[in-house]
Structure 1
Amino acid sequence: MLEFRQVYKAYTTPQGPLEVLRGVDLTLEAGQSLALMGESGSGKSTLLHLAAGLDLPDSGEVRLGSQAISTLGEPERARLRRERLGLVFQQFHLVPSLSVIDNLRLQARLAGVEKSAWSRELIERLGLAGLEGRYPEQLSGGQQQRLAIGRALAPRPSLLLADEPTGNLDEGSADAILALLLELVRDTGCALLMVTHSPRIAAPLDRRLVLSHARLTSSQQAAQEATS
């Protein structure tokens, strides 16, 4: 579903080039969930942006299914994001002038695949039944995050990218949101790549990788290196 092939990425700084990704290889299959961990500034968000086609690698290839994202122009990448990707961020990015139901349906409408039965099911499973006419400012933080997840899943994407989706929530709310997210991902069959700094949040996912010194390692290997 998602593949990185020898991806390199660096940024120009006053001190010279800053290498963020160095020959990164990554494969994520349909239906799998993967937690990407690492210290702040390690390049996790950069990797996520490359997966979404929001940025391009300096060299190497990023593929979504059979499509090489890194060879597409911006209009084609934007269409790919609309039609095949779901994005969830720590900041909810809800449209304040739209109601709950219209925020939920927004991404599906943009993708041209809105299905009212699936929208109604999402509303129920997100615990937002009866709140369809409210606006984001009238919701709690947990409700807003559930709505953001529902909006991302409304078009039934092939790949869901989540950047610290529980970072603004208390521990109890974060655990509930994560359980709901994994349940919906499992039921829709999409792949999930989630950035998190929390081992507790990462634990329920199928796989865990750590980005450190511009390279990916397994969480077990990273722990061994840290203690050696």
Structure 2
Amino acid sequence: MLQLHQVHKTYSTPQGPLRVLNDISLHLEAGQSLALMGESGSGKSTLLHLAAGLDQPDQGKVILAGENIATFAESRRAKLRREQIGLVFQQFYLVPSLTLIDNLRLQARLAQQEDAEWTAHLIERLGLSGLEKRYPEQLSGGQQQRLAIGRALAPRPALLLADEPTGNLDEATANTVLTLLLSLVRETQCALLVVTHSPQVAAPLDRCLRLRHGQLASVTSW
């Protein structure tokens, strides 16, 4: 579903070129989950942005569903993000003027892939039944993050990208949200890539890679 092949990324800085990613290759199949760990500044978010088509590599391929999106124009990458990629962040990025149900429907409507039956199922699975008319400020942090997950999954994306998805939650709530996220990923059979610094978040996922000095290594123990 997702493949990065010999990807390089360098940024210009006042001190000169900064190589962030150096010859990165990874693959992720449909229904699989992968944790990407690394210290702050190690390039985790850059890799996530490349996978989402939010940025382009200097060299290499970013292949999603058989197509090299690194060659796409921005308009085509934006369309692909709407239709095939779900994004979940540490900050919830809910629209404060929209109710829970309208926030949940937003991504699917933008992708023209709204499914009323699937939306109702998501609300029930997310434990948000009865809260449909509430606004984000009327929800707890855990409820807001569950809503953000539901919004990302509403169009049934092929790939779900999550950047520190439980970073703003207490430990108990984080565990609940993570368990729910993995359950919904198995149900939808989308591929999941999670960027995290937490071994507790990474442990339940199928595989874990660590990014250090712009290169990847498998994590075999905690």
TM-score, normalised via structure 2 length? 0.99
Q: 5+ residue gaps in structure 1?
A: 224-228
What value does the CA root-mean-square deviation take over the aligned residues?
0.8
The answer to whether 1:55 aligns with 2:20 is no
Q: Give the Cα separation in 1 of the matches to 2:210 and 2:66.
A: 26
* 1:90-123 deviation line (CA, Å, top 9, x unaligned): 0000000100000000000011110001000100
Q: Does 1:150 align with 2:150?
A: yes
Structure-1 residue corresponding to 2:168:
168
The one-character-per-residue Cα deviations of 1:163-213 (angstroms, maximum 9, x if unpaired) are 000000000000000000000000000000000000111000000000001
Query: What is the Cα deviation at residue 32 of structure 1?
Result: 0.3
Aligned length, in residue pairs: 222
Aligned position for 1:202: 202
The C-alpha deviation readout for 1:10-40, integer Å capped at 9, x for no partner, is 1111111111100000100110000000000
SS at match of 1:63: strand
Superposition pairs for residues 88-167 of structure 1, below 5 Å? 88-167=88-167
Q: CA–CA distance in 2 between the matches of 1:220 and 1:130? A: 43
Partner of 1:226: none
Q: Distance in 2 between matches of 1:63 and 1:158?
A: 13
The answer for the alignment partner of 1:183 in structure 2 is 183
Residue ranges of structure 2 left out of the alignment (5+ in a row) = none
Between the aligned partners of 2:4 and 2:67, the Cα distance in structure 1 is 12
Distance 1:112 1:68 in 2: 23
Distance 1:151 1:200 in 2: 24
Q: Tell me by how many angstroms 1:220 deviates.
A: 2.4
Identical-residue share of aligned pairs (%): 71
Distance, in Å, in 1 between the alignment partners of 2:133 and 2:149 is 18
Match of 1:23 in 2: 23
TM-score (norm 1): 0.96
After the TM superposition, which parts of structure 1 deviate over 2 Å for at least 4 consecutive aligned residues? none
Residue 5 of structure 1 aligns with an amino acid whose one-letter code is H
